[in-house]
Chain A
């Protein structure tokens, strides 16, 4: 393992400590798990981590993009 140092906001550290304790794991293990979730898995297309990461509830979201970008026009 490589030892490294990171800086966190006080509030982030507080939440991290609480969540790790709730799961019964160390802060270091919590951070390692979070990093493993974020990094692309070996052999996986790295851009696919964004596939389905949004749930708008709108089945036509991609069909009316001009309304959002250029404001609604007729």
Chain B
């Protein structure tokens, strides 16, 4: 569904859960009535690792449960060799930005699916010109 989907980055999930985060209210509102969402398998790995390292296994499992509960609302783009090739292209293109592979894959997914909305607090995700929702809200 090009044009109507939103890409979701790790930071959006964190802001949704953390009521102290300055963008919590925004993401609570967005996740309360979301369009079709898309994310990278690497974002799921990042999110799990973040909650595991910042908190504990319980919070990491809760993150996975959050993803499960999103069900068909969230498309998780697998990270196969073709996706690695696409992500590496963006990582090289923006080599001076020291992109993580998860960020690079996010840029590749948004370009491929012509996504025009990015749920993230990470400015790296706007490198290709897709506006971050934190800047448009």
A8 CB to nearest B CB, Å? 18
Cβ-defined contact, A54 with B17, below 8 A: yes
Task: Write out the residue numbers on chain A whose beta carbons fall within 8 Å of the beta carbon of B63.
Answer: 50
Interface size grouping (class) on chain B: 35 or more
> A53-B62, A58-B20 given as contacts; is B122 within 8 A of A48 (CB)?
no
Cβ-defined contact, B46 with A69, below 8 A: yes
In the complex, how many residue pairs between chain A and chain B have their CB atoms under 8 Å apart?
Answer: 88
Question: Which of these, A40, A45, A66, contacts B100 with CB under 8 Å?
Answer: A66
Cβ-defined contact, B18 with A47, below 8 A: no
- A11-52 Cβ-contact flags toward B at 8 Å (1 or 0): 000000000000000000000000000001000011111111
B88 CB to nearest A CB, Å? 18
Cβ-defined contact, B31 with A56, below 8 A: no
> A52-B24, A53-B62 given as contacts; is B54 within 8 A of A68 (CB)?
yes
B11 interface residue per 8 A CB criterion: yes
Give the size of the chain A interface in residues (CB under 8 angstroms): 26
Cβ-defined contact, B20 with A69, below 8 A: no
Cβ-defined contact, B31 with A63, below 8 A: no
A62 interface residue per 8 A CB criterion: yes
Cβ-defined contact, B59 with A54, below 8 A: yes
Cβ-defined contact, A65 with B14, below 8 A: yes
Cβ-defined contact, A65 with B11, below 8 A: yes
Cβ-defined contact, A63 with B11, below 8 A: yes
Residues of chain B whose beta carbon lies under 8 Å from any beta carbon of chain A = 10-12, 14-24, 28, 31-32, 46, 49-50, 53-55, 59, 62-63, 65-66, 69-71, 73, 98, 100, 121-122
